[in-house]
Amino acid sequence: MSRTSHYLTMRDGVRIAVDVHLPEGHAGPYATILHQTRYFRGVEVKARRLKKLESAFEMVHATRTRFLAAGYAWVDVDVRGSGASFGRRPCPWSPDEVKDGGELVDWIIGQSWSTGVVGATGVSYGGTTAEMLLICQHPAVKAIAPRFSLFDVFTDVMAPGGVPLRWFTDNWNRVNQNLDAATYEQTVSTAVRIIMQSLAAGKADRRTPRWSGLLDKLDRPGVERFIARNVRRLGAGVRPVNGDVEALAAAVAEHLDNYDVQEQADRVEFRDDELPESNEYEHLDSWTAIAGSVDRFSPHSYLDALRGSGAAIFSISGWLDGAYQHAAVKRHLTVGNPGSYLLLGPWEHGGNLQVSPYGATRKAVFDQEEAMIRFFDHQLRGAPRPEWAPVRYYTMGAERWQSSQTWPPAGAEMRKLYLGAGGTLSSEAGRAGVERFVLPEDSTSGRASRWRSYVGPHQFIGYPERAQQTRALPVFRSAPLEMDTEITGHPVATLHLHTEVPDGDLFVYLEEEDAGGAVRYITEGLLRLCHRRLGGDRAPYRSPAGFRSYARDDAADLDMDGPNLVVVDLLPVSYLARRGARVRLVLAGADVDNFGPPRALGAVGVEVGGERASFLSLPVVG
């Protein structure tokens, strides 16, 4: 392959760093894949004898290599205000950043090596960048593959269920600040620290490496400093454009004025809370000023443009990818452009690892690159359309892939299991009563949970200590299952609650307990209870789960005289519960290792039986 670097000047004079990779052994011109990232388009290692390490620092290296081998041109871009590009970042996916994408496409199709058609892809931030490119409605952009990325900023990552995901925003803020200050060694050491924490947290799981328990004996801050020191010795950092280190230094100086992630997150309690005012985008007719809510940089806010682009969308996520599998579902059901697909696998954030609780944690087996190449071959190069169903999903427990024309699959039906006295779950409502308990303030789902998946690749994600973590929590168990039961779709818990406080956080976990007492996590839902009001026809997108506005005016205190109807939708999943196992519903009032600060519910009563029976609805196939 050949690589050339360029600075491209945007409409306002800001220079954007671009690397062009052209394939070798393939005659041009080429269809092009555009990859825009805020995590460095390329990494340079200054120690000459260690130059081969550069590809190890580039998260996109393997994917780019596969596309080049398939005869595509590939263009990597440092988005405005990041890497070697100039400019500043007032927020993620700012209007100017999005408009830059349209200008980059103009430049690409004007090159002699271009066929005039462009696709886009990326993981996480880069996946959303690919999706936001469709706002430009550029006719050359025929298809995108957003992977492991959000659709609704507020519910998918900032505050799922209205509960602040503080661990993520704090650590993502650290990563961003280190990148913007060109302290790349701190970025790498932070990522390694998070990976070590996840491995240490998973030491009780048979699927983690045997040596993972040793991590508990390491001084993690000391290890982090050691890693940072050695990365610094390598001289690793963002690749300058054509070796121009003076231009790189000038660009980095502009990045120091970028926004602070945690400061912005702390300003947002409700979806419609306003961020700091700014007048710098009033000149853009298609955008309002950045002043306003987080919806200003959320893809779901631009449905008309996404649909109007006509681009096919290949949405990819994993069952333990935070809440992004629900984001992928919402995108697929709502945008609905012809030729679109949905792929949901047994993966963490990024899809590097196989994380089904019934298999060894190992490198992901499914070939995502091959699937994307076949998708883009059809959309950009006129190859036959892949003979796939619109939806493909992996059923954990059964350890097999399945296909469907729709999501959820047409054969799924909701079955009710009623909460009963003494912590039971059964198909009959039983006698009316109230189960009372106290929800501890220090509950956790651990440091290897799905929510840790968002920061740092190649983490162990799992729940090996659920039996211990739930020992002090209310647990409702079914009788042993008489047959294997496939749960595929969106479980829902409908509860009638009595509380002694006007607001609080509620976490609802769905789990499987085998005959020996081993517990396997299936999925979860959470809700700040002031947001219990469902939105009905006000939903801006389609989802099998109920919509809540999370707006300040729609928030309502709990009725102290109770009971309060609370409906908690759990994140989608496909899981085979085994014959002889029990289904468990677990309630908690906090997840201190991931969310916070907790709004403690304390003493709670749940109505069981009778006319106000609380129940769990399971989407069962077959």
Annotated active-site residue in 5, 94, 114, 124? 124
Burial class (CB in 10 A: 0-12, 13-18, 19+), 38: buried
* Residue 591 bears catalytic tag: no
Alpha-carbon span 187 to 178, nearest angstrom: 6
Answer whether 289's CB lies under 8 Å from 282's CB.
Answer: yes
Alpha-carbon span 70 to 410, nearest angstrom: 36
* Bond before 408 cis per omega within 30 degrees: yes
Pseudo-torsion of CA 449, 453, 454, 459, nearest 10°? 140
Question: Helix, strand, or coil here: 603?
Answer: strand
What's the farthest any 2 CA atoms get from each other in the chain?
A: 76
How many residues are present in the chain? 622
Answer whether 462's CB lies under 8 Å from 518's CB.
Answer: no
Tokens of 26: 């393939």
* Residue 349 bears catalytic tag: yes
Alpha-carbon span 84 to 46, nearest angstrom: 16
DSSP state of 589: S
The residue type of 95 is P
Q: Which of 505, 541, 456 is nearest to 152 (CA)?
A: 541
| Strand-pair partners of 147 | 123, 316
The residue type of 279 is N
Alpha-carbon span 127 to 350, nearest angstrom: 10
Compute the half-sphere exposure of residue 350: CA atoms within 13 Å on the CB side of its CA.
18
Question: Helix, strand, or coil here: 12?
Answer: coil
Annotated active-site residue in 138, 255, 332, 349? 349
* Separation of first and last alpha carbons in the chain: 50
Annotated active-site residue in 19, 100, 156, 321? 321
* Residue 100 bears catalytic tag: no
Question: Helix, strand, or coil here: 118?
Answer: strand
Around Cβ 551, how many Cβ atoms within 10 Å?
Answer: 16
Q: Give Cα 535 to chain centroid, integer Å.
A: 23
Alpha-carbon span 132 to 94, nearest angstrom: 10
Residue with tokens 């993502």: 172
Alpha-carbon span 388 to 394, nearest angstrom: 14
Residue 56 makes CB contacts below 8 A (sequence gap 6+) with: none
Alpha-carbon span 94 to 97, nearest angstrom: 5
Answer whether 575's CB lies under 8 Å from 395's CB.
Answer: yes
Query: Which helix H or strand E contains 33, and what residues bound it?
Result: strand 30-37
Whether the CA torsion 262, 131, 85, 34 is positive or negative: it is: positive
Alpha-carbon span 194 to 385, nearest angstrom: 41
Around Cβ 484, how many Cβ atoms within 10 Å?
Answer: 14
Question: Helix, strand, or coil here: 107?
Answer: helix
Alpha-carbon span 419 to 494, nearest angstrom: 10
Positions annotated as catalytic residues are 124, 321, 349
